Structure 1
Amino acid sequence: MCRVVDLQQAVLAGNDTRAQALRAELAARGTAVVNLLSSPGSGKTALLEQELLLATGRGLRVAALTADLATENDARRLARSGAPVKQVLTDGLCHLEAHMLARHLDGWLPDGTGILFVENVGNLVCPASYDLGETLRVALASVTEGEDKPLKYPTAFGLAHLVVVTKTDLADAVGFDEAAFRANVAQVNPGVEVLLTSVRDGLGAGALLDRAAAAAVGGPRHEPVMARSGAPGHSHTHDDWPAYANGPARDEAHAHVQAHDQGLPHEHAHEHAHEHGPEAGTAHARTPGHEGPGQGRADAGVSGPVAAES
């Protein structure tokens, strides 16, 4: 008798299970996790730096973990706030997963941290379908990206507890239609708050931090329409999407579980990359001659509150 196993569904279900456990672990420690998703160049790092500076100025216990394919540039910027910061280098992987976040937090996240900001890899496709055990999921878009961004990426915006518009000081110059953007957000995520910000002129300064603090106390105020089951306000089943998420949008949510260039099942291609190394979950030096994606390592030459690891 043959049994058909949906590897895509199995991988996502496994991640959701680990995310639920991580959410419970961090809640028990009094830590709320804010998962920030956006395209590259949206101004996510600049906004986060502003919010971290405000947090440390208020005496709040915050920390940030930032993920990039390469460089420690973002971590060095964020560390100027005085908050503990860790850089995760994915070496080509397009998203974080719950088990990866758990591994990087182990032994690093300071006791008493009230809010942990996770700056996900700049990408609105792959990261959107992975629950990291977050308390608050935030989707960001700059005014330069166009009003139809929520319609093009319904998974990212449809699962958000909060939508943030950045670089509003450029809105007039690029002809940004705020009303159209809000209408498109409402189409994929009815009732979600849209927050306008500009780091340059100070619009909305501290608002993200306030929403994060509120979520830390009472959880998200908005439950996305795509959150149908599991943890309140976030976790979802991948067979129970709203009507607008059928067809191409649903394909978008699952496409990342395919190996991007080799056509291999995600369970082989990505899990091998994420957990490869002498001991999964332990930072170690890069092995000469074996520099594949995702190999765990601790980078030298990083000082202050910044820790770099992949």
Structure 2
Amino acid sequence: MQIDMKQPILDKNDRLAQENRALFAEKRVFVLDLLASPGSGKTSTILATIEALRDEFNIAVIEGDIASDVDAKRIGAQGIAAVQINTGGACHLESDMIRRAVDALDLDNLDLIIVENVGNLVCPTDFDLGEGAKVMILSVPEGDDKPLKYPGVFQASEAIILNKVDTMSVFNFDEKAFRDEVAQLNPKAPIFPIAATKGEGVDAWANWLRDRIHALQQA
């Protein structure tokens, strides 16, 4: 006899995710779930995004890590509300974790919540958090072959941020091959080349996110 434990876990998660989604819609808060590998530049991308949008929107961040609160402290130092979730070994965030985290936030006075998911390209794709969009970050040093190796995360993402583009020549990153591979998996997903620590290319990405926030607020 084979017992499938995955589906009951996902079913429970999805029910709670729908409750989260209804709450976020009621409060007109756009929730962005960022997926990426460790070292891809998630936190630096979040900081660059905050810098681009903070004069227009009230922003909070939920930080997901197996351990530590290093990233949450970096966000908090910028005057942004940050809630740390430590999974204690779990490789992804789940919808009940997000609900407990948002209970610590003032949703009535927020426009955008950025969730920094646990760093990996597999597990987080299966778990709906109630987010408005999943977006993945790939950094140039990781290589242009990642769509071939991890197709699920590219298919699940509504947009893709290609970070550290200032290192393309160093790592011989084939941008055309990368774009062709992404187009095969998810032709509707825009790709935003950025260098987050330098602020390069962030405006185009921020404009995409701004449009999504406005669409929710006007719904």
Amino acid at match of 1:214: D
Runs of 4+ in structure 1 deviating by more than 6 angstroms, as ranges, are: none
CA distance in 1, matches of 2:57, 2:215: 17
Report the Cα offset of residue 200 of structure 1. Answer: 3.6
Report the Cα offset of residue 70 of structure 1. Answer: 1.4
1:160 aligned residue (157, 160, 185) = 157
In the TM superposition, what whole-angstrom CA distance separates every residue of 1:165-195 from its partner, at most 9, and x where no partner exists? 0000101111111001111111211221011
In the TM superposition, what whole-angstrom CA distance separates every residue of 1:33-81 from its partner, at most 9, and x where no partner exists? 000000000011111111112322x142111111111121111111232
CA distance in 2, matches of 1:217, 1:20: 21
CA distance in 1, matches of 2:24, 2:188: 27
1:201 aligned residue (192, 198, 202) = 198
How many pairs were matched up? 216
Return the structure number with greater strand share.
2
Report the Cα offset of residue 121 of structure 1. Answer: 0.5
Q: Does structure 1 retain, via aligned residues, the 8 Å contact 2:29–2:107?
A: no
Match runs of 1:1-310 below 5 Å:
6-56=4-54, 58-218=55-215
Amino acid at match of 1:70: A
Q: Which has the larger radius of gyration?
A: 1
Report the Cα offset of residue 84 of structure 1. Answer: 0.9
Report the Cα offset of residue 90 of structure 1. Answer: 1.5
Q: Does structure 2 retain, via aligned residues, the 8 Å contact 1:70–1:91?
A: yes
- Specify the SS of the correspondent of 1:50: helix
| Matched-pair identity in % | 38
Return the structure number with greater helix share.
2
CA distance in 2, matches of 1:172, 1:49: 25
Unaligned runs of 5+ in 1: 220-310
In the TM superposition, what whole-angstrom CA distance separates every residue of 1:195-254 from its partner, at most 9, and x where no partner exists? 1000243221233332222112326xxxxxxxxxxxxxxxxxxxxxxxxxxxxxxxxxxx
- Specify the SS of the correspondent of 1:74: helix
Report the Cα offset of residue 10 of structure 1. Answer: 1.9
Q: Does structure 2 retain, via aligned residues, the 8 Å contact 1:169–1:201?
A: no
Amino acid at match of 2:15: T
Report the Cα offset of residue 5 of structure 1. Answer: 6.2
Amino acid at match of 1:7: M
TM-score normalised by L of structure 1: 0.66
Amino acid at match of 2:52: L
- Specify the SS of the correspondent of 1:111: helix
